Structure 1
């Protein structure tokens, strides 16, 4: 479990805002599973499920290419048993929650969640 969820969230956000993909990926296991409706929109063949660090790199690289003004502002951080939820506002002003399940100090699975009824949640 991450020992300081708030520090983790701040580092995660800083890495995203720097568009430093390798720094973001450092938080994730090599065999990570990540789910997101944005993944389904950007890479339809994934059906919203991205398996493994290489596939996650490909997805997020394409996302950064399509959303050059990507920027996050952390609003709230929640902690549970082996779980951190980062609620943030994206560059479009949409409130998003990232649900991160940890194995040790790295994310084993992550789930991007968006408001119900939001059109094109990524702005891609």
Structure 2
């Protein structure tokens, strides 16, 4: 029987391979994924969130640098997320940002709650301002002509 950590490590491998079908294999069909970008419920919505990351950052990669080793469930990890923004990336207001060619390096953490060998709840934490600043706009409007 796989531990919560086994499942989390396999999920990371699937994410780094950009293998969406394998990614979804590790989530319960009714799983909930919560992040600064919003909440997704179920495979269809979770797949859509991962697709957005993979499209916007085709070299999206997670590197774990700290795991809470004395806790099996939730599996808590701190990451460095890297990638290059070459594809369209959906912004919170519904607009899409065309590829900027800018590299990103973000600090992030997450906790995955596993039930019956599947992730039931996944909570992702990262600083959106850090991401948007690295993409070139920080606290300013993308379109200076809009108000």
TM-score range (shorter-chain normalised) is 0.7 to 0.9
The structure richer in helix per residue is 1
Residue in 2 that maps onto 1:82: 73
Using structure 1 for the length normalisation, give the TM-score.
0.77
Unaligned runs of 5+ in 2: 83-103, 136-147
Contact 1:76 1:87 in 2 (8 A): yes
Using CA pairs under 8 Å that are at least 6 residues apart, name the structure with larger relative contact order, 1 or 2.
1
TM-score by length of 2: 0.66
Of stretches 79-88 and 105-114 in structure 1, the one that deviates more from structure 2 is 79-88
Distance, in Å, in 2 between the alignment partners of 1:81 and 1:121 is 35
Quick check: 78-87 or 16-25, which moved more? 78-87
Aligned length: 113
Distance 1:112 1:103, change over 3 A: same
Give the C-alpha shift of residue 70 in structure 1.
0.3
Q: 1:8 deviation in Å? A: 3.5
Unaligned runs of 5+ residues in structure 1 are 41-47
Q: Look at both structures and tell me which one has the larger radius of gyration over its CA atoms.
A: 2
Q: Please say if residues 15 and 24 of structure 1, whose CA atoms lie closer than 8 Å, have aligned partners that are also in contact.
A: yes
